[in-house]
Structure 1
Amino acid sequence: MNRSRRRKQVVKQVFWIGILLGFALAYGCNQRAPINQSRSDLPGIEVPPPEPQPYSTEATLLAVGDIMMHGSQIKSGYNSQIKTYNYDNFFTEVQPILHRGNWVIGNLETTLAGPEAKYTGYPRFNAPAPLADAIKTAGFNILTTANNHSLDRGEKGVLKTLENLRSRGLKPVGTAASLTEAQNILRVEKNQIDMAILAYTYGTNGIPIPQGKDYLVAVIDEAKIIQDIQTARASGADIVTVALHFGSEYQRQPNTQQKTLVKNLVNAGADIILGSHPHVVQPYEIFEQTNTDGTQRKAVAIYSMGNFISNQREKYRDLGVIFKVRLRKNFPEETIEISEVKGIPTWVHRYTAQGRYQFRILPVEAVIGKRDDALLSSQTYDRLETYLDQMNRHLNSLVIAANSKAQVNPENHLNLQYQRDYLKLASS
């Protein structure tokens, strides 16, 4: 029995000695090959760097047409008790839409030259500076100031308007206080997408630009615009947006000069063209371009965005559009594409309160969908439904025409599938 017991003890001892030796050997191996040593440290072995993971970023441009200030609009925001102006109510109903944009652009078709220059509406506009506060609160961050009313208060009016906008964090484009300032192309980056923004006007209502100070207002000169586009491209802009104050007033279709200029600017490298001045909405058009390196590029131009806010009540002049262009940048290639184009029709509602006119901008489709606005009658709702249908068809008219032409001629320069993809103005 004793001999058997001793044999069992020896077996146990041998077993535990084996376990300990195993741990020792494992520890020794680890010491000889440190765990932080990579394969690339070993001679003769090269490990390629990891492939960058693809991803994309998106950003949205929202643009509107003419922000005007007729006499009745100026009066609508005046509080006689505290002697101040406030125009927030103009934009309350569209503010939620505008706040969804990254670049939010409007055409400021009035000066903000101060009370000493007297507040007046048509024909030479000068509005209270609190309008800029309301514009900023609404969600705008960029205003085009090159239009036929830029010089309504002369050089001082241009400079004071720039001062009032910049002091509120708004970026003006199209007018400048110096030559150096005029030569600096506005660049605004959102979500890693770098956009250059340019703005020009056909003229200044016959008011001469002071001699030697052409920089005050950027006037349409095709060669100069093309040069600016190319400069923006060469400096690394992903997208070049050009705002043009041009066309024939109250005409719902672009004229030959508009179409020719737009085509030439798109060929030169413009990606987005935003039209204003006619005071009525004109259609948009989509282009597919072949770059010099053989790559494809999409561009979009809306010839006129109509009146965003004004006291013009004639047919179609109380209608406007919030023009939406969504952009996508793909990495690691860093390619840019237009992923969505959409128009959001708007209507200027003028009504009477406390013995004077009041104004507000309504997003037509959203208002119709709720149908709960106490200030609107059933007849007004019916009229808005008609407006919405007409506006959607009107905005799309050039795209639809291009589709029809492409179906007849398959070699048409417009990409048919691309056009179809973007025929969704009223769908969302």
Structure 2
Amino acid sequence: MHPDQPRVRRALATGAATLALVLVSSCSSAEAPERLGAGASDPGTGGGAEPQSSSDPAPEPLTVAFGGDVMFEGLLRSRLDDPATALGPIADQLSAADLAMVNLETAVTEGGSPAGKDFVFRAPASSLEALAAAGVDVATVANNHGMDYGEQGLLDTLDHGNASPVALVGAGRDADEAYTPHVAEVNGQSIALFGATDVLDDHLIPAWTAGGDSPGLASTKGDMRERMLTAVSEAAAEHDNVAVFLHWGLEGAHCPLPHAPELADDLVAAGAGAVVGGHAHVLSPGGFQGTAYVHYGLGNFVFYNFPGAAAETGVLTLTFDRGGVTAADWAPARIQGGVPVPYEGADADRAQRSWVDLRARCDLPLTDSPV
């Protein structure tokens, strides 16, 4: 979908001349891999179904960095005057991973009509430039602000996404598109990245949920839960790794809602190696459930400069390898001037311990390492 991203590559066939050289010298070479877009496949491999040739390099683990809720209202809007530096110092951590994904909690539009709700967010197309400059590859727009400016605002968002190097997931012009993941191939492994919302105002559910021929968001609410589980199962059968970014939780609450652990279990059983999310605007626990990783709330990321717990944030970097998550790193940060600034030294240690303590506080059986 976005083959020009320099940080994500895939091995390409090197042509007849190189093949002849392989046969003569019994050695092989491979060019640096590049990103695959959703639904793309390696030439001659039938979408990854064929086994690797003996000359291909062995698959290696890949890393994905996840950040929480992003919007550009209020004091954030002026940061878009220079999209190249809009996300500040956190860009280094996002760019260090093979892929990076955030929750884009705004309509990307300058049109549409505001929805009938208390808070509505929108941002210009330069917001996607800012994300791309900071190393973000994928953003989910499946959240309770994705259609803040109605159907037209969503269509504008999708159009801007198509013109951007940042792939948008969790929404579409119909349900098929909304429940389609972004697929990338990195280090010889494919990964499917989904977005879906578990939070919608009741009166907005019919208009905001993608239908057979109507624009909207991917959802896990009601009957749409099975649609999401099916999409994850199908992706897991086709790709090496699957991750789901959910909009879930209760605003202001560190602990997940009672149904969330079961929903996470169901997504993992369907084939997700990781389930992460946000919405509460404060941090929630994260850790391993077996060889899968679940994070119940990444908190705010690029957001209003609230004091206290709402300013605590961080970058979660997961290492994926053939269906499981083999390592996880939580790098805590604090929002200053609307953007995350990484903690250092003793402050980082304190923030790390505070976040880990949330597991016991919420009585969740999450661990530091896969079991």
TM-score by length of 1: 0.65
Instruction: Give the corresponding residue for 1:342.
Output: 329
The amino acid across from 1:343 in the alignment is W
Instruction: Give the corresponding residue for 2:248.
Output: 246
Among all aligned residue pairs of Structure 1 and Structure 2, give the percentage whose two residues are the same amino acid: 25
1:217 to 2:217 alignment: yes
Instruction: Give the corresponding residue for 1:73.
Output: 76
Contact 1:199 1:243 (C-alpha < 8 Å) held by counterparts: yes
| Other structure's SS at 2:285 match | strand
Q: Structure 1 residues 141, 54: CA separation in 2 closer, same or farther (over 3 Å shift)?
A: closer
Q: Structure 1 residues 240, 398: CA separation in 2 closer, same or farther (over 3 Å shift)?
A: farther
The amino acid across from 1:349 in the alignment is Q
Instruction: Give the corresponding residue for 2:189.
Output: 193
The amino acid across from 1:209 in the alignment is A
Instruction: Give the corresponding residue for 1:226.
Output: 229
CA positional deviation for 1:87: 4.0
| Aligned equivalent of 1:395, options 332, 349, 355 | 355
The amino acid across from 2:335 in the alignment is V
| Other structure's SS at 2:108 match | coil
TM-score by length of 2: 0.74
Contact 1:188 1:195 (C-alpha < 8 Å) held by counterparts: yes
Deviation string, structure 1 residues 266-309 (Cα, Å, up to 9, x no partner): 22221100111011111113112xxxxxxxxx100100000001
Name the CA distance, whole Å, in 2 between partners of 1:301 and 1:404: 11
Q: Structure 1 residues 326, 212: CA separation in 2 closer, same or farther (over 3 Å shift)?
A: closer
Q: Structure 1 residues 304, 183: CA separation in 2 closer, same or farther (over 3 Å shift)?
A: closer
CA positional deviation for 1:86: 3.1
Name the CA distance, whole Å, in 2 between partners of 1:223 and 1:183: 11
**Structure 2 unaligned residues grouped into runs of 5+:** 1-23, 25-53
Q: Structure 1 residues 420, 133: CA separation in 2 closer, same or farther (over 3 Å shift)?
A: closer
Contact 2:282 2:309 (C-alpha < 8 Å) held by counterparts: yes
Q: Structure 1 residues 214, 304: CA separation in 2 closer, same or farther (over 3 Å shift)?
A: farther
Name the CA distance, whole Å, in 1 between partners of 2:248 and 2:160: 25
Q: In terms of mean alpha carbon deviation, does 176-185 or 239-248 score higher?
A: 176-185
| Other structure's SS at 1:325 match | strand
- Between structure 1 and structure 2, the one with the greater Rg is 1
| Other structure's SS at 2:230 match | helix
Instruction: Give the corresponding residue for 1:166.
Output: 162
Deviation string, structure 1 residues 336-370 (Cα, Å, up to 9, x no partner): 543310111121112xxxxxxxx4321112xxx5x
Name the CA distance, whole Å, in 1 between partners of 2:369 and 2:112: 52
Contact 1:341 1:422 (C-alpha < 8 Å) held by counterparts: no
CA positional deviation for 1:212: 6.2
Name the CA distance, whole Å, in 2 between partners of 1:183 and 1:403: 32
The amino acid across from 1:277 in the alignment is H
1:284 to 2:286 alignment: yes
Name the CA distance, whole Å, in 2 between partners of 1:360 and 1:72: 10
User: Aligned residues, how many?
Assistant: 310
Name the CA distance, whole Å, in 1 between partners of 2:264 and 2:95: 29
Name the CA distance, whole Å, in 1 between partners of 2:251 and 2:364: 28
**Structure 1 unaligned residues grouped into runs of 5+:** 1-35, 37-50, 79-84, 289-297, 329-334, 351-358, 370-384, 406-413, 424-428
| Other structure's SS at 2:284 match | strand
Supply the RMSD in Å over aligned alpha carbons: 3.2
Name the CA distance, whole Å, in 2 between partners of 1:146 and 1:403: 28
Deviation string, structure 1 residues 41-78 (Cα, Å, up to 9, x no partner): xxxxxxxxxx999955121010111002232322x237
The amino acid across from 1:392 in the alignment is Q
CA positional deviation for 1:106: 0.4
CA positional deviation for 1:392: 1.2
Contact 2:316 2:329 (C-alpha < 8 Å) held by counterparts: yes
The amino acid across from 1:299 in the alignment is A
| Other structure's SS at 2:296 match | strand
Instruction: Give the corresponding residue for 1:353.
Output: none
CA positional deviation for 1:138: 0.4
Instruction: Give the corresponding residue for 2:11.
Output: none
CA positional deviation for 1:404: 11
The amino acid across from 1:101 in the alignment is A
